[in-house]
Amino acid sequence: MIAIIDYGMGNLRSVEKALEKAGAEVSVTRDSDELRRADRIVLPGVGAFGDAMDNLRKRGLIDVIREEVAAGKLFLGICLGLDLLFEESDEHGLHQGLGLLPGRVELIPTDLKIPQIGWNQVSIRKKSRLLEGIPDGSSFYFVHSYAVVPEEESDILCTTEYGCTFVSAVERGNITAFQFHPEKSSSLGLKILSNFAS
């Protein structure tokens, strides 16, 4: 069973529907015990970094996320769910993240319109089980103003060009996360979610 974390931010229904379409059994939950029972966990999210961390804290979900990731459970972050994995963000002030990956979140350093909204290509930097069947240079759907700056180059899974080169996906061990929205990215996005589900 795949648990989607409900912390009051994000398009939970579209993630749930896409995973179900990919053949997964899915539960949308904020219950710590249910997260512990799940085989895999998804952290989606849309909105501001600080608000998201406050919501996770109020619901008592920070420790359970850290524990389940440390135990080796497969974990998928989507959009804001990618950003939250890092140590800090300077979005509307300085905010501490989950600290599961070293690095920070910064405004995209570009002269192009922010937020970036729409389809853009990704360059795959290393092999990943979640990207099996995904050609390099494939396009996915983005909506974001901030991007992660990992400390460890080995954590970078994909990069994307938007007036600059930014990190659009990361992977370390059991953690994979995407800046783009697989659930809004047509058949290739569903393929990623199917790879995660299987």
181 is catalytic: yes
Q: Which of 68, 144, 171, 181 is catalytic?
A: 181
Token pair of 12 as six digits:
């939970």
Q: Which of 16, 79, 144, 158 is catalytic?
A: 79
Spatial separation of the C-alpha atoms in residues 108 and 120, rounded to whole Å = 15
Question: Is the dihedral angle over the CA atoms 141, 120, 23, 29 positive or is it negative?
Answer: negative
Q: Residue 12's Cα: distance from chain center in Å? A: 13
Nearest to 44 by CA among 77, 92, 93: 77
183 is catalytic: yes
A 10 A CB-CB count for 133 gives 11
According to DSSP, residue 80 is labeled: H
Q: Which of 16, 68, 171, 183 is catalytic?
A: 183
16 is catalytic: no
Q: Among all residues, which ones are annotated catalytic?
A: 79, 181, 183
